[in-house]
Amino acid sequence: MKQALIPALGAAVVFVVFALPNHPDAMGWGAFMRWPLELPVLLLLMVLLGRRAGVTHLVASVLVILTVLKLADYVMFMAYNRPFNPIVDGSLINAGFEFSRDSLGVTWVGVALVFAALLLALWFLVLLRSLVSWAELSPSGKTTQAAGVAALGCFAWAVADAGHHMNFWKLQASPPGTTWTTRLAIDRVDQMQRTSSDLVQFREAALSDAYANRRGLLNQLEGRDVILIWIESYGRASFDNPLYAPTHLATLRTAQNDLSDLGFAMRSGWLTSPTAGGQSWLAHGALGSGLWTTDNGRYQAMIDSGKKWLFHIAQDTGYRTTAIMPAITRDWPESDAMGFDLIFDKSALGYEGDAFRWVTMPDQFTLAVYPNLLPPDPRPDFIQIALISSHAPWTPIPDLIRWEDVGNGTVFNEMAARGPEPEVLWKDKDAVRDAYRRSVDYVLNAVFSHVAQLADDAPLIVVAGDHQAAGFVSGSGNMDVAVHMIGPQHVLDRIEHWGWTDGLVPGADVPVRRMDSFRDEFVAAFSGATSTAMVAK
């Protein structure tokens, strides 16, 4: 009985490594209901190899690394809602150490580090003993052959599952069990390789940046305020999908007439976003930094590259730079690399109403309050506002109210309690698409109503979609988004060579540029002589 119990306990210990989740949402007993296909392969391998020098120690070390990786992911998802990237997150480890040292003192931090090291050493020894318990089984000849056949079969089963989920091939159905830990490890190694390559490329781009050390840029803006407004999930579907175009085009044309009557000029064009269906920060990064941030690895490499963002250039020109970010609910260390003097996240915006589920506050509230939050400053403002009311799941959708009634946001509480619940809405794809149509229309109305209130200040306003909605909503794989520039006519004359369309409805044949081209072209257009034409993709 004892001879069977020890290997069984050893198998259970190794099972924990493979079943351990790396995300807070997956942490629960359900995570341990999935059968890891790597487990029988590894245990049978121990039986076949026996206690050969270094094998059990090597495997135990790998299992410890996998444990640490998953725990690091868990902490990063809790703090920053993204996985841990060893290539670019080393600074966060150091920052965490310094914060702990300053908060708790050197002694307690030292005790914690020693305790953590002892836990890791103990975990290594437990894993080592678990593996050795299988390596010591020493089966007979026929049993060894059977173990070899079983190991080969389990390995083929695991490879079939991994290949299916990593799109190397497609099976009619996913094999029972899971190899998600193996896939996580492979993906992380691939991510590290890509991030290393991107980091080299992006650092070279930072060193060769034509605007890195130049002064006197953006002088043609004449010291006027600049406001960049991001509209969530606002893409080309609003113009060419018959489910949305009638509603959104009517709203844009009405806004165009209203703004024209107030003396605004308008130009509109297309930008190709690096993402679709989500991950808005990739679009923000591409436009702000001038680097093509198509995934989180490239994004983190961009953050660590030292490349100047558009907001750094504005700072150097004498602007106060501000980020209005109602979706930011946690620490945002990446913002240190973006060039903002001031950041107003969810808590700083002062919303006292109820959340609209994932959406922390209606966009009308954000647009109503941010001007009053800016402290007095003689410098002109360069502001980024990232709106979120058109973010999935698109329920509930607020109503546009009188601006003077916005107050502290409690006026929206009744709207926030509306149905349907997301799990109900998303059972009907047609209902989801209609909710998307209405939510984007709400944001368009809110944005251009706010812009109308700025007519006396003559700012330059850029309104851009961050990405298309998910494919089943947008109806295509197109990744283009609309971008509108609004301001005095003589200011917009400086982008006449871009070939954009007059008004708020960009022509279907307007040349499409990648979003990462915007930084350099914007700076060139509003710095001294008119730049050469933008190069279409």
The label of the residue with tokens 């509109």 reads 268
Using DSSP, state whether 150 is helix, strand or coil. Answer: helix
Query: Cα–Cα distance between 16 and 39 in angstroms, integer?
Result: 10
Q: What are phi and psi of 188, to 5 degrees?
A: -70, -40
393 preceded by cis ω (within 30°)?
A: yes
The full DSSP string for 425-468 is HTT-HHHHHHHHHHHHHHHHHHHHHHHHTTGGG--EEEEEE--B
Query: Cα–Cα distance between 118 and 448 in angstroms, integer?
Result: 59
420 preceded by cis ω (within 30°)?
A: yes
User: Of the candidates 182, 175, 137, which has an alpha carbon nearest to the alpha carbon of residue 156?
Assistant: 175
The full DSSP string for 393-416 is T--S-PPP--GGG-TTTGGGHHHH
pTM of the model: 0.73
Task: Please state the separation of Cα 161 from the chain's center in Å.
Answer: 28
What pLDDT, on a 0 to 100 scale, did the predictor assign at position 408?
97
CA dist 434 → 247, 249, 268, 430, 463 (Å): 11, 15, 25, 6, 23
The full DSSP string for 89-131 is -HHHHHHHHHHHHHHH-HHHHHHHHHHHHHHHHHHHHHHHHHH
Structural domains in the chain, sorted by start: 2-192 (no CATH), 209-525 (3.40.720.10)
Overall residue count recorded for the chain in this entry: 537
Using DSSP, state whether 532 is helix, strand or coil. Answer: coil
Query: Cα–Cα distance between 515 and 466 in angstroms, integer?
Result: 9
Single-letter residue type at 513? R
Burial class of residue 489 (count of CB atoms within 10 Å of its CB; 0-12, 13-18, 19+) = exposed
The label of the residue with tokens 């150490």 reads 97
Q: Residue 174: CA atoms inside 13 Å, Cβ hemisphere, count?
A: 11
Single-letter residue type at 89? D
**CA dihedral (267, 272, 278, 283) positive or negative:** negative
Per-residue pLDDT of the chain (537 residues; tens, 9 = 90+): 567 788 899 999 999 999 999 888 888 888 788 899 999 999 998 988 876 768 899 999 999 999 999 998 888 776 556 788 787 676 667 766 765 676 667 888 888 889 999 999 999 999 999 999 988 887 777 788 888 899 899 989 889 888 888 888 888 888 788 998 999 999 888 888 888 888 888 888 888 898 988 888 999 999 999 999 999 999 999 999 999 999 999 999 999 999 999 999 999 999 999 988 888 999 999 999 999 988 778 888 888 888 999 999 999 999 999 999 999 988 888 899 999 999 999 999 999 999 998 899 999 999 999 999 999 999 999 999 999 999 999 999 999 999 999 999 999 999 999 989 888 998 899 999 999 999 999 999 999 999 999 999 999 999 999 999 988 899 888 899 999 999 999 999 999 999 999 999 999 999 999 999 999 999 999 998 544 333 333
Query: Cα–Cα distance between 86 and 185 in angstroms, integer?
Result: 12
Using DSSP, state whether 265 is helix, strand or coil. Answer: strand
Query: Cα–Cα distance between 518 and 445 in angstroms, integer?
Result: 25
Torsion of CA 349, 98, 86, 207, to 10 degrees: 80
